[in-house]
Structure 1
């Protein structure tokens, strides 16, 4: 009878470790999931703002091209026999010159703004990858812990802890904004 009680106590200790592992990793996965969702929303906003900025840049460049063409045509058509433009045409050329200068000044700022949104998206994507890796590693850890509980093999629980530790490191890196990034995992999961 003492042997049965000793075996039962050993099973309970092992199962408690498995249960604590599963609970701790599940809570951490939930927190990571919330943060990852917020990052994905920020990525979508940055991408949308970037598309809008690139559209504004392209519109400014298109208007610049149209005004440059209109200026050249107006100048060509307005030339009188003595090589000078008449007053209405000269006013139009002056107006087009002002528009051209405005678009030439505006385009670099719009381009820089669009590139800024792209950089913001890229930075957020690194952290999204970290949370994705944490989720994958922690899911593997929970699965191995479940198997460890069924087969009662301590090595399986240790493997679960190893995957869980890697998952926690990746999740903490995402929360703290560290630049820790696994290109291999990103390619594998991306």
Structure 2
């Protein structure tokens, strides 16, 4: 029987001690983070749906605004033509033209008022979208941070490095903080980080 010296050296190496607390701590942390991430995901999905609705409303209101604008311009052009015709009109034609001028002046005024109302609605839709997007950004940062934390926790469990477990707690805390800010409607919004990632 041949003796392999490498086998003797390998068997003589002491095994790296496994930390009894690390794997349960990783499992509990991952479970808590995944649960929190799931709750945030439900709220984030609802916010995204509201953003889509606000965007659709904004597009609709601007489209109606353009339609009102076209009607107003056509009314103004017709009004100008009627006023020019009234200058050269006979006394018999003048009352009819004045009646038409009054009708078109009322229509132009009505279209201008409705156009201003639609513009205000479209601008309000944009404000609603921006406010919802602010919260959506918070949930996006929460998702990304927690995903990074879970990856680091998996490696910490595999390598049995408690320092890596501690490092994983940093994105965990940040992710929970951003998710809580999104759920509670807080104004925490790291603009520089969001601009970097967008």
Q: Does TM, normalized by the shorter one, top 0.5?
A: yes
Distance 1:64 1:28 in 2: 53
Match of 1:99 among 93, 107, 123: 107
CA distance in 2, matches of 1:18, 1:131: 23
2:83 alignment counterpart = 75
Q: Does 1:117 align with 2:89?
A: no
Please, which runs of 5 or more residues in structure 2 have no aligned partner? 1-16
Q: 1:90 to 1:24 in 2, by over 3 A?
A: same
Separation of aligned partners in 2, 1:12 and 1:184: 40
What is the CA–CA distance in structure 2 between the aligned matches of 1:14 and 1:68, rounded to whole Å? 78
Cα 1:84–1:43, aligned 2, differ >3 Å: closer, same or farther? Answer: farther
C-alpha distance 154-67 of structure 1, shift in aligned 2 (>3 A): same
- Any stretches of 5+ residues in structure 1 without a counterpart? 1-6
| Larger Rg, first or second structure (1 or 2) | 2
Question: Residues 26-74 of structure 1, C-alpha deviation per residue, up to 9 Å, x if partnerless?
Answer: 1111111111111000000001001111111221122111101110012
Q: String of CA shifts for 1:111-168, please: whole Å, max 9, x gaps.
A: 1111000000000000000000000000000000000001111111111111100000
What pairs up with 1:129-140 in 2 under 5 angstroms?
A: 129-140=137-148
Shift of 1:81: 5.7
Superposed CA RMSD: 1.9
Aligned with 2:186: secondary structure?
A: coil
1:1-190 alignment to 2 at 5 Å? 7=17, 11-80=19-88, 86-190=94-198
TM-score normalised per structure 2: 0.86
1:80–1:86 contact (8 Å) kept in structure 2? no
Kindly indicate which of the two structures has a greater share of residues assigned to helix: 1
Give distance in 1, aligned partners of 2:122 and 2:92.
42
C-alpha contact 1:39 1:128 (8 A) present in aligned 2: yes
| Count of aligned positions | 183
Q: TM-score by structure 1 length?
A: 0.90
